[in-house]
Structure 1
Amino acid sequence: MSCIFFRIIAREEPAEIIYEDDDVISFYGLHDMAPVHALVIPKKHIENIMDIEDHDESIIFKCHIGIKNVARKLGVDQAGFRIITNTGKHGQQEIYHLHYHLIGGRELTWQM
């Protein structure tokens, strides 16, 4: 597939890897949404939340364990952070591969 996330997983595109296991990879996000911005993604292609199947439960669990590990590594586990996942056009999904934005490093406000 030509998805940029698959190219990052294959090390064909540069990314600063924060965390990785057999099913999940995390790297720094490109947009400065907050002082801390990381992406956590499953290595298996799942387009978005609406495409998660029952048999994906262990991968989704591992994504959440990855989020926990990344939060600790980046030092936002105690003060708190936000997880965002965009789904579809109206949800402003830009890359059609399920991914979680972990943002933190300051008190976050709600803006729409």
Structure 2
Amino acid sequence: MSDCIFCKIASKEIPADIVYEDGHLVVFKDVKPVAPDHLLLIPKKHFSSPLDFGEEDIETAGRLMVTAARIAREMGFAEKGFRVVCNCGRDGGQTVSHIHYHLLAGRALQWPPG
């Protein structure tokens, strides 16, 4: 999608502090972190939200979660705990129309979130 900021990050048109990348995903530091560790996980393929996932996208959905767990272990916050959040739609708090998962850690996170 030509005007999607996350598609531009995935294609390297816009710089980001990338901490992980493979053929399917990009993980980078959030520019407005709400926790000491705040990363965004995005698929390189554009999906507006989780509602765009179909049966054929199960691998992408699973890859996002497996990668979140791997990064939590590699960055050293898996044992203390972390949160993975995917906002969907305006009322769900989604502000960028490209599916993305927030990986939050580095402090005690409260519930309910907001």
TM-score (norm 2): 0.92
Q: 1:64 Cα shift?
A: 1.2
Counterpart-to-counterpart distance in 1, 2:42 and 2:91: 21
Q: Secondary structure at the match of 1:103?
A: strand
Match of 2:69 in 1: 68
Q: Name structure 1 gaps, 5 residues minimum.
A: none
Counterpart-to-counterpart distance in 1, 2:51 and 2:10: 23
Counterpart-to-counterpart distance in 1, 2:39 and 2:72: 9
Match of 2:21 in 1: 20
Counterpart-to-counterpart distance in 1, 2:92 and 2:46: 19
1:47 pairs with 2:48: yes
Structure 2 matches for 1:89-108, cutoff 5 A? 89-108=90-109
Q: Name structure 2 gaps, 5 residues minimum.
A: none
Match of 1:57 in 2: 58
- Whether the 8 Å contact between 1:40 and 1:67 is mirrored in structure 2 is yes
Q: How many residues align?
A: 112
Match of 1:3 in 2: 4
Q: Secondary structure at the match of 2:7?
A: helix
| RMSD over aligned Cα atoms | 1.1
Give the fraction of aligned pairs with identical amino acids, expressed as a percent: 38
- Whether the 8 Å contact between 1:19 and 1:66 is mirrored in structure 2 is no
Q: 1:46 Cα shift?
A: 1.0
Q: Secondary structure at the match of 1:33?
A: coil
Q: Secondary structure at the match of 1:108?
A: coil
Q: 1:101 Cα shift?
A: 0.2
Q: Secondary structure at the match of 2:26?
A: strand
